[in-house]
């Protein structure tokens, strides 16, 4: 035990001894207060001057003196004892510090002050005086268990939502505690040593999980206590809401909506509330299923609000629309029976088509012969999405068409929806059935075989879309594109390319092109798209001369009942013959605004009467077995919206 405790014990004994004599009570209390103050002041001074050895000696002498004096003069000179005692011990401490006397030899080691009684037979009430423990040393290795200690967090709660937690340290048995530390590990390996406290607020380093708090003590002999721990669950997040099954963005009217969800939390769930738009009902926690049947058309939001026992809240929702996916249409088409067809050929002039371009004239030599008997018109453009230009001698025939009026130079646009001039025929952009077959075939073959190398970004659908835009929807309509389309003529497009559409914009979409054709010509033109491409899944072609599968060109051909050929064939004769026959079939075709649904009846009327001609459905086209007589046709059908 140290000096402070020796002094405190002795004073308490002295006070008790005198207090039993009631007539000296007030004097004893005064004595105790004066003496305690003087001794503590003297001890503080001595300690600062490193004179503990001397102070121990003085205190022992004072103790002997005090015992003798008390026995002899107890009932007569109490007040004198008080004064003499206070003065004596103060003088002892003060006198011991006079001069510059050196006790012991000089040393550089930290002081270690110990003492034992000078006379073993006397002064047994005064314990050994030692320096109070230095800063805590966890390397001592000694453990002295402390019993009767409880560490309580938040008054014993097992969970909390507040990161600030209150600790209470309860001691039910006496324990000598010098310092203590608070940490957050199970083995007390962290934390800083400090003064003992039995109540303190701490900030948790862990959120939304189990928090372990540890305390450990060290006594004045630098001996550690055992590690004492307690834990609490921290939770300041609302319950987790998970939707495992829910409707897609839109479902068909009358369909059933199935919803599966789960609500879980580290704490207990207090309440779960479900809402379907404005309809509110209590729901269950954990995993549950909800079925909503026969939903009318409209927009729906299914939401869940959950609260846990700590008051944490959360919200989750899913949304969908109930639609009628079908539309009922009545379309009128006027058939003139003029056998007219306007044909657009879109040729791939990119570098990857160099091999095919070498013999393009030969490959297409028989195309026009199959079209005999039709009133046809052909224009040619390329898959190049940008206008490549070259400089030629001005031609008066071109003024105002692809160059400003009066220009001395002509800028020859290769694509972006503009037509190629017919080879060796400046100012002409169409090849027509009024020409002799040999002249017409020669013009077609020579124009299709391109000398330039165009863009590697092949976009045949885009080029066709832009061609129609230039002729009909732009503010300054291009007369070349506008005049290509004749009244009463059907429309067919043929693409020759070894790659697919390279972009995915609005004008590259097959359905958007079909809608543009339908809306521009008010549903009065039969339309088909034919493709000579790298056919999907044709690996042999892909490994030889095919660059990529022509997926979107293939799709557009299927949607319009067009034919699909292979760009890798050495001779396109048979394929072009089939395509030419397909073009001829346009005079037997009614093109609808959308692909009709087979589960709904299709009713065809001609001039108000049921038309009995048989047909097949090929995409958006109704292809009849026989050529359609002239007249007004009405088609009643259903499509998907």
| Higher-pLDDT residue of 622, 177 | 622
Q: Tell me whether residue 3 is exposed, middle or buried, using C-beta atoms within 10 angstroms of its C-beta: 0 to 12, 13 to 18, 19 or more.
A: buried
pLDDT at 389: 54
The Cα 237–Cα 425 span in angstroms is 78
CATH of domain 240-324: 2.60.40.10
Query: Is beta strand 340-347 parallel, antiparallel or unpaired with respect to 375-382?
Result: parallel
pLDDT tens, residue by residue, 316-332: 999 999 888 788 899 99
Among 324, 298, 250, smallest CA distance to 600 is for 324
Do 330-640 and 240-324 have the same topology in CATH? no
| Higher-pLDDT residue of 403, 560 | 560
pLDDT at 475: 82
pLDDT tens, residue by residue, 363-389: 777 788 888 889 999 999 999 888 655
pLDDT at 83: 45
The answer, yes or no, to whether residue 335 has pLDDT greater than 80, is yes
The answer, yes or no, to whether residue 31 has pLDDT greater than 90, is no
Q: Tell me whether residue 289 is exposed, middle or buried, using C-beta atoms within 10 angstroms of its C-beta: 0 to 12, 13 to 18, 19 or more.
A: exposed
Count CB atoms within 10 A of the CB of residue 51: 18
3-state SS assignment for residue 40: helix
pLDDT tens, residue by residue, 462-498: 999 999 999 998 888 899 999 999 999 999 999 999 8
Express as a percent the part of the chain with pLDDT over 90.
44
Q: What's the pLDDT band for 34 if we cut at 50, 70, 90?
A: low
The mean predicted confidence, pLDDT, of the chain is 78
3-state SS assignment for residue 371: helix
The Cα 581–Cα 169 span in angstroms is 98
pLDDT at 510: 95
The answer, yes or no, to whether residue 39 has pLDDT greater than 90, is no
Q: If you count DSSP H runs as helices and E runs as strands, how many of each does the chain have, helices first?
A: 13, 31
Instruction: Give domain 149-234's CATH number out of 3.30.1130.10, 1.10.1270.20, 2.60.40.10, 2.40.50.140.
Output: 2.60.40.10
Q: Tell me whether residue 152 is exposed, middle or buried, using C-beta atoms within 10 angstroms of its C-beta: 0 to 12, 13 to 18, 19 or more.
A: middle
pLDDT at 80: 46
SS3 content of the chain, % helix, strand, coil (to 5): 30, 30, 40
3-state SS assignment for residue 243: strand
pLDDT at 56: 42
Lowest mean pLDDT among 60-69, 151-160, 167-176, 229-238: 60-69
The Cα 511–Cα 136 span in angstroms is 81
The Cα 609–Cα 632 span in angstroms is 10
Contact yes or no for 217/139 (Cβ under 8 A): no
Among 348-352, 372-376, 404-408, which range has the highest average pLDDT? Answer: 372-376
Lowest mean pLDDT among 245-249, 260-264, 417-421: 245-249
Q: Domain segments of the chain: what residues?
A: 3-96, 149-234, 240-324, 330-640
pLDDT at 354: 67
330-640 CATH fold: Rossmann fold (3.40.50)
pLDDT at 128: 34
Please tell me what DSSP assigns to residue 421: P
Average pLDDT for 585-610: 93
The Cα 177–Cα 146 span in angstroms is 9
pLDDT tens, residue by residue, 216-239: 999 888 889 999 999 999 988 899
pLDDT tens, residue by residue, 82-138: 444 444 444 444 434 434 333 333 333 443 323 333 344 444 333 333 344 444 455
The Cα 99–Cα 102 span in angstroms is 9
Q: Which residues pair with 342 in a beta bridge?
A: 377, 491
The answer, yes or no, to whether residue 139 has pLDDT greater than 80, is no
The Cα 356–Cα 335 span in angstroms is 38
The answer, yes or no, to whether residue 357 has pLDDT greater than 70, is no
| Higher-pLDDT residue of 527, 395 | 527
pLDDT tens, residue by residue, 504-514: 999 999 999 99
Contact yes or no for 277/249 (Cβ under 8 A): no
pLDDT at 370: 84
3-state SS assignment for residue 61: helix
Q: What's the pLDDT band for 30 if we cut at 50, 70, 90?
A: low
Contact yes or no for 458/351 (Cβ under 8 A): no
Cα pseudo-dihedral 57, 60, 62, 64, rounded to 10: -140
Query: Is beta strand 391-393 parallel, antiparallel or unpaired with respect to 409-411?
Result: antiparallel
Give just the sign of the alpha carbon dihedral 506, 512, 516, 519: negative
Please tell me what DSSP assigns to residue 109: S
């Amino acid at each position: 035990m140290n000096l402070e405790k020796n002094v405190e014990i002795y004073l308490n004994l002295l006070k008790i001894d005198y207090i039993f004599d009631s007539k000296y009570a007030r004097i004893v209390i005064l004595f105790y207060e004066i003496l305690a103050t003087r001794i503590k002041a003297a001890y503080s001074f001595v300690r600062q001057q490193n004179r503990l050895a001397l102070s121990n000696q003085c205190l022992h002498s004072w103790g002997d003196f005090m015992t003798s004096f008390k026995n002899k003069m107890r009932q007569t000179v109490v007040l004198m004892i008080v004064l003499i005692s206070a003065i004596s011990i103060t003088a002892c401490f003060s006198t011991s510090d006079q001069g510059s006397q050196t006790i012991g030899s000089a040393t550089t080691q930290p002081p270690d002050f110990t003492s034992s009684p000078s006379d073993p037979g006397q002064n047994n009430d005064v314990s050994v005086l030692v320096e109070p423990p230095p800063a805590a040393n966890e390397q001592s290795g000694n453990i002295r268990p402390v019993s009767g200690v409880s560490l309580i967090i938040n008054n014993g709660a097992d969970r909390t939502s507040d990161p600030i937690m209150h600790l209470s340290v309860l001691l039910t048995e006496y324990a000598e505690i010098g310092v203590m530390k608070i940490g957050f590990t199970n083995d007390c390996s962290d934390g800083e040593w400090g003064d003992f406290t039995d109540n303190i607020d701490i900030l948790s380093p862990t959120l939304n999980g189990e928090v372990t708090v540890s305390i450990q003590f060290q006594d004045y002999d630098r001996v550690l206590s055992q590690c004492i721990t307690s834990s609490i669950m921290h939770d300041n997040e609302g319950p987790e809401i998970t939707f495992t099954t829910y409707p897609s963005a839109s479902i068909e009217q009358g369909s059933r909506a199935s919803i599966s969800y789960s609500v879980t939390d580290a704490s207990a769930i207090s309440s779960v509330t479900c809402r379907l738009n404005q309809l509110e009902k209590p729901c269950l926690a954990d995993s549950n299923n909800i079925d909503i049947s026969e939903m009318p058309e409209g927009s729906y939001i299914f939401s869940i609000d959950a609260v846990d026992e700590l008051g944490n809240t959360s919200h989750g929702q899913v949304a969908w629309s109930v639609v009628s996916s079908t539309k009922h249409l009545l379309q009128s088409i006027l058939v003139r029976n003029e056998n007219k067809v306007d044909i657009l050929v879109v040729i791939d002039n990119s570098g990857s088509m160099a091999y095919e371009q070498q013999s393009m004239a030969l490959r297409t030599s028989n195309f026009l012969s199959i079209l005999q008997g039709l009133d046809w018109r052909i224009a040619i453009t390329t898959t190049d999405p940008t206008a490549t230009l070259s400089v030629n001698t001005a031609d008066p025939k071109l003024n105002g068409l692809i160059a400003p009026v009066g220009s001395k130079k002509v800028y020859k646009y290769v694509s972006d929806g503009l037509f190629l001039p017919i080879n060796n025929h400046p100012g002409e952009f169409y090849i027509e059935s009024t020409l002799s077959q040999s002249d017409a075939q020669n013009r077609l073959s020579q124009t299709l075989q391109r000398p330039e190398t165009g863009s590697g970004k092949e976009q045949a659908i885009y080029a066709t879309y832009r061609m129609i835009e230039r002729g009909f929807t732009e503010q300054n309509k291009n007369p070349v594109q506008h005049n290509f389309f004749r009244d009463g003529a059907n429309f067919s497009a043929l693409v020759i390319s070894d790659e697919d559409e390279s972009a995915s914009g609005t004008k590259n979409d097959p359905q958007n092109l079909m809608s543009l054709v339908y809306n521009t010509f008010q549903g009065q033109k039969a339309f088909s798209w034919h493709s000579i491409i790298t056919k999907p899944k044709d690996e042999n072609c892909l490994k030889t001369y095919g660059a990529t599968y022509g997926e979107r060109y293939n799709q557009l051909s299927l949607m319009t009942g067009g034919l699909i050929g292979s760009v890798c064939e050495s001779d396109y004769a048979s394929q072009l013959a089939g395509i030419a026959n397909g073009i001829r079939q346009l005079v037997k075709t009614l093109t609808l605004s959308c692909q009709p649904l087979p589960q709904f009846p299709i009713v065809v009327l001609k001039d108000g009467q049921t038309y009995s001609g048989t047909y097949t459905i090929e995409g958006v086209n109704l292809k009849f077995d026989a050529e359609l007589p002239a007249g007004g046709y009405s088609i009643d059908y259903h499509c998907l919206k």
